[in-house]
Structure 1
């Protein structure tokens, strides 16, 4: 039987794996369809401490995986279809692996950015298409940028990107924004932000060096046009990767796993959550890694307490 199973990788899961492996708990890490998480879809990472020249996202994740493996962490590829947290040991039904039992579980399945699902989008992620302004804004200093979206996140990202870009154009499919009035007012007061409302994104236009424009349908005129740009930031929200839980854990109003403040503890003792699956505010690699460390330490203390309890009960 496993002492600890970590569901999902990325900075949170891999950091938890490093800490637990060093504590001789031999964690089993179940990787899904995208080992390494969202950072494997990025190019240069310049805001993760310790890399003054930056590091490629996939390289950073591979280094963290090797570090965990060095201390004894075991990796298996599979898809968790069902969980049973009603009793310990907890049970996981994993496609291709059958049923797995574990005394403790750490969930680090992350959150996925909602994409536009238009031609040219996914193949140009890292070549001008991004879903994280704080991650990639620096690379567009003095450039023209498009932000797609009409909610608070889009207004926040557009305002942030004006620190770097020469101009930011907000593209939204409706003629009215969904953002709160205070966020709208703040964006509209920024002289660097321009507006292309009532425009439906149709295609990401790119050349050999990356993105060059966004083709849209202007619903006001019924015609298609290309808005020239050096980068496109998609800001239409994220969704936590929690579908496999099927109500087994308490979640917040946005669907993110609820944890006890200041900890990674869920409403089920022995089940912990870290990274973007429980954080819709910061969503950074370094905060995810930090929460992975917290989850490992919380998990280790839980297992130590359980062992002491079981020992005392046997006396």
Structure 2
């Protein structure tokens, strides 16, 4: 009975709405599924926190899609997660974006966000903790307790950087010297011997980012040659402090418990081993698709990339779409992800139209639509002068400091949470920010920065909390614990 109603509904809509070439797979998916999309208005008018379009991920794919769905008249929510702009933020220079001779990854991310924001896309600066695609409207829960009921979902979550399972990786991951975000950590490698592992465009980009700061950079390439663009290789070859070791694999990372001190590598031809002094190690060996949230529901391939139907961005679940690096590792370019985002938007538009969702339905259920929390627009002061900073912490009872790098993904993630906290606590606590890329080495030494984002809370000039932060949730916990302790002292 459900399929019969669905087919009748699609036929009625198709008589009114022109069907484009992009809707072929959408229609096939709807007609071949067991999902029942009954009368759209009666189904959703009693459900709270409905959202016509939810996009999980704010990289080129997700942001590009949001621009088109909003312009088509569909209310769209982008759940940002950890990175506004996505993995593109880690690219120093992009020279293959159509219409731009050269721009940084961070610039591209900002441009896409500004465009999406301008046309009316809404943003939720939280991360998704779970999804239920077995019911419709679907259910999405965030790490901060929000529950959203989307009519359609785009998975644009990108990938998680790969790391090798060799001794020392886990022990020294993070502030002890092992990571992947070279553009975030490069300022901390001044005077260091640095290792980069990989042979792709990404690896060569990492090398060039680090070579500006590090004493030396050694690139370990398992194969006999680089797989990067020749233009990038030529740029790298101009760096006097860079060395490339071919046919070389990483066997072990060694350290003194506090920091990386060396790596052990092995030649893949003669098996000869070599110990190389190093204080930092960066992986650039590709990504694992961030598909874990939806694997119980949608079809994935043997490498856990989300499977798509034909030439569309449709997944195996009607109403669920995917775009960008979560669907394939074959291309891995921002322009390709943006193109897939546009295709996904067209598929979403056709899906919503075919199930009968339109502005008149939205007008009826407007009171049930999800409303994201207001974003704080408070401007937290940024301090760059050490003398001004010392005066500040010595003349205020309590000062919270965030040391950040504007290219750091976690720094971007915690920004809205810190702004909201600053707005609600402006009478109790002085809050400032320090851009690590804009301060002197003496200032960096004074702050004792192991990594970013770093939260320091001073009371009467003395640091009582000095902690690197990995998420918005951790930032909230640190601040709430501090306030709770202060309240106990007052009692």
Q: TM-score by structure 2 length?
A: 0.48
Partner of 1:31: 80
Listed one character per residue, the Cα deviations across residues 10-49 of structure 1 (whole Å, up to 9, x for unaligned) are: 0000000111111121210001122221111222222212
Structure 1 pair 34–131 and aligned structure 2 pair: CA distance change class (3 A): farther
Alignment match of 1:77 (pick from 111, 125, 132):
125
Question: Number of aligned pairs?
Answer: 269
Matched-pair contact (CA < 8 Å) for 2:298–2:317: yes
Partner of 1:17: 66
Which is bigger in relative contact order (C-alpha 8 A, separation at least 6)?
Answer: 1
Partner of 1:271: 320
Structure 1 pair 156–271 and aligned structure 2 pair: CA distance change class (3 A): farther
Distance in 1 between residues matched to 2:198 and 2:104, nearest whole Å: 17
Question: Which secondary structure state, in structure 2, belongs to the residue aligned with residue 244 of structure 1?
Answer: coil
Partner of 2:114: 66
Question: Which secondary structure state, in structure 2, belongs to the residue aligned with residue 243 of structure 1?
Answer: coil
Matched-pair contact (CA < 8 Å) for 2:91–2:205: no
Matched-pair contact (CA < 8 Å) for 1:40–1:61: yes
Partner of 1:234: 284
Distance in 2 between residues matched to 1:306 and 1:77, nearest whole Å: 29
Distance in 2 between residues matched to 1:157 and 1:296, nearest whole Å: 39
Q: CA deviation at 1:197?
A: 4.7
Q: CA deviation at 1:94?
A: 1.5
Q: CA deviation at 1:232?
A: 6.9
Question: Which secondary structure state, in structure 2, belongs to the residue aligned with residue 43 of structure 1?
Answer: coil
RMSD of aligned residue pairs (Cα, Å): 3.6
Structure 1 pair 162–44 and aligned structure 2 pair: CA distance change class (3 A): closer
Distance in 1 between residues matched to 2:76 and 2:197, nearest whole Å: 33
Higher strand proportion: 1
Partner of 2:158: 110
Q: Map residues 150-165 of structure 1 onto 2, 5 A cutoff.
A: 150=222, 155=223, 158-160=226-228, 164=233
Q: Map residues 162-181 of structure 1 onto 2, 5 A cutoff.
A: 164=233, 169-170=244-245
Query: Gapped runs of 5+ residues in structure 1?
Result: 171-193, 204-213
Partner of 1:134: 201
Matched-pair contact (CA < 8 Å) for 1:32–1:77: yes
Structure 1 residue 217 corresponds to structure 2 residue 274: no
Partner of 2:53: 4
Distance in 2 between residues matched to 1:88 and 1:307, nearest whole Å: 14
Matched-pair contact (CA < 8 Å) for 1:113–1:238: yes
Listed one character per residue, the Cα deviations across residues 186-212 of structure 1 (whole Å, up to 9, x for unaligned) are: xxxxxxxx3335743558xxxxxxxxx
Partner of 2:294: 245
Listed one character per residue, the Cα deviations across residues 92-111 of structure 1 (whole Å, up to 9, x for unaligned) are: 11122421001100110001
Q: TM-score by structure 1 length?
A: 0.73
Structure 1 pair 123–109 and aligned structure 2 pair: CA distance change class (3 A): closer
Structure 1 residue 196 corresponds to structure 2 residue 243: no
Higher-Rg member (1/2): 2
Partner of 1:187: none
Matched-pair contact (CA < 8 Å) for 1:45–1:135: no
Q: CA deviation at 1:113?
A: 1.9
Structure 1 pair 122–197 and aligned structure 2 pair: CA distance change class (3 A): closer
Query: Gapped runs of 5+ residues in structure 2?
Result: 1-49, 187-193, 212-216, 256-260, 361-491
